[in-house]
Structure 1
Amino acid sequence: MTVDVRSNQGPAVPAQSLCQTPKDASFEEMRRRLRKDGYVYVKNILPRDDVQKVREEQVSTIGLDTPGSALEDGIFNDSNDPLEHGGIGAGELPPTTEQVQAMIEAHTQPKYLQLLEHPNLRSFVKGIMEWKKEILLKRTMIRHNAPHALSTGVHYDKLFLRKGEAEFLTAWVPIGDIRADGGGLMYLGNSVQVGREIEANFTRRAKDLSEEERLSAFNVHMEEYGQLSQNANEFGRVHQTNSGVGDRHWLVANYEAGDVVFHDPYIVHASSKNEGHDGRIRVSTDLRFYEEGSDMDDRWMQLWTPGDGL
């Protein structure tokens, strides 16, 4: 598959397909792919019906759907301004107190919390990482991205979790089907080393900052919203190379409810712009796992709240 996807700025990106890993592959094979590619994309880990029920719960909570439409569809009510509803990490928060409160409450809904504890999800995390016990950071990030709203810019996750020396694993979970051009996550191939080099450069430049500033993804050396770029096309072109690591192309997929992508803290990624062809609100969540007892970023052991600085 090759599909044109867009970011917030710049021309469309001709993206290629993410490599799928069969869910019955050995954990040894998954670890090999995580080391090689920086991600493991596995379909149908979670029961589709369970994920769809979470989508219905989320759409109902956030309250941006078209009256009379099915909650599972989550069709955006275009009487709202889409530019005010890009989701956490994509621009400013919604304009009303009630809408912000709904985003907070979305993180504590019962079906969502049940999904976070699903044994299939937890067993894959432990198996891939060879951990005896995994710890999920309480600060999960549900993103409700309206059609034609701002998407999440180019970044790698370690930017935001700089405290603590332990490595972590991200699990990105689409809550419902998400087309590649409907807000799906897009990865820059062979980019773990890119992220590590950028982070090492930031660390050198931040050596004279206070500890609080040095740990922040929003310090004086960072871009707006703590991201690397809003232009995926330009960023990919600058960092594309064939010298020893293979081509660096953007990679996407047509995600389905039940899929999970596990990825390295340094792999460069972004969200495609939700082009709104079907009017669906793009809902997903970002989960970060550490091994129990490791030196984790304890700033993230609180639920997400607006203005928490992370």
Structure 2
Amino acid sequence: MTVDVRSNHGPAVPAQWLRQTPSDTSFEEMRRRLREDGYVYVKNILPREDVQKVREEYFKLYEPTGIIKPGSALEEGIFNDSNDPLQHGGIGAGELPPTPEQVQAMIDAHTQPEYLQLLEHPNLRSYVKGIMDWKKEILLKRTMIRHNAPHALSTGVHYDKLFLRKGEAEFLTAWVPIGDIRADGGGLMYLGDSVKVGREIEADFTRRAKDLSEEERLSAFNVHMEKYGQLSQDANEFGSAHETNGGVGDRHWLVANYEAGDVVFHDPYIVHASSKNEGHDGRIRVSTDLRFYEEGSDMDDRWMKLWTPGDGL
């Protein structure tokens, strides 16, 4: 069974489903799946009510911008479709939004108490340590909580190492849906078996950037990169261009109907994007991206500060 999802450009992609991992699966098995698949999609490891509270508080910040449908519950996050969705973008989906109120809400969302408490939740931290077999994990301060309104721009095709090139240590991304997100509602879509693809692209970028300054080589926005540091805005075209040796159509995009409490842990090189929020239920997609290193490792210290507009990362 497949489901059609879209990216910013190109035709719909007949995606398949991410492999689910029950929360009581052994860490040894989770490590095996991370090596094999490039991701571990773990169900229900965070309390649903805690995640939903973060969602509600997020939209309390954004309510004055007019993004929420009048009369709807903040926790639901229903888009006010009298607005132009392209004027209500989130982080990483194009230019900053046009009003100071929207930009300030983006900034303030990263320091809300409920959000910061979720980042410290012992379940989240124990799974990071267990999956990676680390003694102590370090969460980079530059987290990215963001939204995707129905029919707005989604995040293009990329892999995370593009943006964290400083430091030799490997890191782990935890992608946390803040609320339920349908497969065609803006959730992450992963290109199957693509860790090798990401590593090959990064090696090619490294070769071509050898004559650039150190600052330019580390940047995801150098002269060899696409706009916004992404690889493509067309998931169908990118996937077709990176088929495996087996032939046409044998590398699939993978999606899920995410629920509040789920977390996807993924490799720095796995290729992924956000599906376009088709807006069937009017819900605004909210999620956060977290990056963890092992304590004492050679990490990208540029990310040890809170996200701010125009920080160049």
TM-score, normalising length from structure 1?
Answer: 0.97
Q: Is the 2:149–2:277 Cα contact (8 Å) retained in structure 1? A: yes
CA distance 1:246–1:119, change in 2 (3 Å): farther
Counterpart-to-counterpart distance in 1, 2:248 and 2:208: 26
Q: Could you report, residue by residue, the CA deviation over 1:230-282 in whole angstroms, capped at 9, with x for unpaired residues? A: 00000001101244999320000000000000000000000000000111110
CA distance 1:124–1:245, change in 2 (3 Å): farther
CA distance 1:161–1:244, change in 2 (3 Å): farther
2:61 pairs with 1:72? no
Q: Could you report, residue by residue, the CA deviation over 1:71-112 in whole angstroms, capped at 9, with x for unpaired residues? A: 111001123220122311111111011110110001111100
CA distance 1:158–1:61, change in 2 (3 Å): farther
Deviation at residue 22 of structure 1 after TM alignment: 1.3
The range that moved more, 137-146 or 188-197, is 137-146
Q: Could you report, residue by residue, the CA deviation over 1:16-64 in whole angstroms, capped at 9, with x for unpaired residues? A: 000001111110000000000000001101011111111101xx58762
Tell me the secondary structure at the aligned position of residue 287 of structure 1.
strand
Instruction: List runs of 5+ in structure 2 lacking aligned partners.
Output: 58-62
Count of residues in correspondence between the two structures: 308
Root mean square deviation, CA, Å: 1.5
2:33 pairs with 1:33? yes
Tell me the secondary structure at the aligned position of residue 201 of structure 1.
helix
The range that moved more, 223-232 or 234-243, is 234-243
Q: Is the 2:172–2:268 Cα contact (8 Å) retained in structure 1? A: yes
Deviation at residue 144 of structure 1 after TM alignment: 1.0
Counterpart-to-counterpart distance in 2, 1:264 and 1:38: 5
Counterpart-to-counterpart distance in 2, 1:191 and 1:245: 15
The range that moved more, 32-41 or 74-83, is 74-83
Counterpart-to-counterpart distance in 2, 1:250 and 1:86: 24
CA distance 1:29–1:244, change in 2 (3 Å): farther
CA distance 1:118–1:245, change in 2 (3 Å): farther
Deviation at residue 203 of structure 1 after TM alignment: 0.1
Q: Is the 2:8–2:154 Cα contact (8 Å) retained in structure 1? A: yes
CA distance 1:247–1:115, change in 2 (3 Å): same
Deviation at residue 167 of structure 1 after TM alignment: 0.2
Q: Could you report, residue by residue, the CA deviation over 1:165-187 in whole angstroms, capped at 9, with x for unpaired residues? A: 00000000000000000001000
Counterpart-to-counterpart distance in 1, 2:52 and 2:225: 37
Q: Is the 2:169–2:293 Cα contact (8 Å) retained in structure 1? A: yes
TM-score, normalising length from structure 2?
Answer: 0.96
Instruction: List runs of 5+ in structure 1 lacking aligned partners.
Output: none
Tell me the secondary structure at the aligned position of residue 41 of structure 1.
strand
